[in-house]
Amino acid sequence: MDIKKLQTLVVDALEDVKGQEIMLFDTTGLTSLFDRIAVVSGTSNRQTKALAASVRDKVKAAGGDVIGMEGEDTGEWVLVDLGDMIVHIMQPAIRQYYRLEEIWGEKPVKLGAAKRKSTPEALEAAESKVKSKHLAANQDQPEVKPVRERKVASKTSATKTAASKTAAVKAPAKKAVAKAVSKAVGKTVKVAPPKAEVAAVKALKALPPKRTVKAAVTAEGEPVKKVIKRVTKKAAE
């Protein structure tokens, strides 16, 4: 049987029983014993046995050879030998422990290339991919409407209009200031004296008038001279 047809049968058989994390590797450059390795996970012993039985029955129905099966007793790791292809059906813990992907995973095979394109399932998958709306290319694009651009006034005209507006606002303010100044010119403003000055003036007015002493004058109009005599006391005898 052709290796491409064989790998397609195996993948279909594993998907029929809901196999998890199906991986396919090309081993032609690593060993001459087989050309393909398939690794799949089963959640329980029953599922791993069912996966192995599905692969065996589908390959036999297509006329392929099933050389042998191992590990069906425990169900933790079931190996199906198909000659040119080996299928490893493992439980998650066993698969994580042995890590067959690190040994044989040099050339992984895409599952899309392994599936047949003539099956109804493949046709439905292709239609769903074409009709899917999660891609931006498949979504309905909104109708594009032309945008009318407005002409933007030049900077010079904008500055001129702004200057004219500010001049119109400042003109009435200047006129009001000029009127106020003209009214204030030529008027005397009375300022009240401070309270301390008023009190001092009142105190001066309340003082009595000063007395004037007239000097003695002779007939000729000359001032009389006063003679002051010194009195000397006699010393006691």
CATH number for the domain spanning 36: value is 3.30.460.10
| Per-chain mean pLDDT for the chain | 75
Q: What is the pLDDT of residue 118?
A: 41
Residue with tokens 């890590």: 99
* Structure token pair of residue 102: 């690190």
Q: What is the pLDDT of residue 206?
A: 75
In sequence order, the 6+-apart residues with CB closer than 8 A to the CB of 95 are: 39, 41
Percent of the chain predicted with pLDDT > 90: 38
Q: What is the pLDDT of residue 92?
A: 94
In a domain, 229, yes or no: no
Nearest to 47 by CA among 38, 55, 37, 35: 55
In a domain, 234, yes or no: no
pLDDT tier for residue 59 given thresholds of 50, 70 and 90: very high
Express each pLDDT in 198-210 by its tens digit: 787 777 777 776 6
In a domain, 43, yes or no: yes
Asked if residue 215 has pLDDT above 90, the reply is no
In a domain, 134, yes or no: no
Q: Is-contact 35 24, C-beta < 8 A? A: no
Please tell me the least confidently modeled range out of 19-28, 96-105, 128-137, 165-174.
128-137
Q: How many domains in the chain?
A: 1
In a domain, 130, yes or no: no
In a domain, 65, yes or no: yes
* Structure token pair of residue 227: 């003679």
Express each pLDDT in 86-137 by its tens digit: 999 999 999 999 999 999 988 898 876 555 444 455 555 545 554 444 445 5
Name 77's bridge partners: 90
How buried is residue 66: exposed, middle or buried, by Cβ count under 10 Å (0-12/13-18/19+)? middle
CA distances from 81 to 70, 90, 133 (A): 9, 14, 42
Q: Is-contact 9 36, C-beta < 8 A? A: no
In a domain, 53, yes or no: yes
88: containing domain? 3-109
Q: What is the pLDDT of residue 91?
A: 95
Strand order in the sheet with 20-26: 68-70, 77-81, 85-90, 36-41, 20-26, 108-109
Establish how many alpha carbons lie within 13 A of residue 143's alpha carbon, considering only the half-sphere containing its beta carbon.
2
In a domain, 104, yes or no: yes
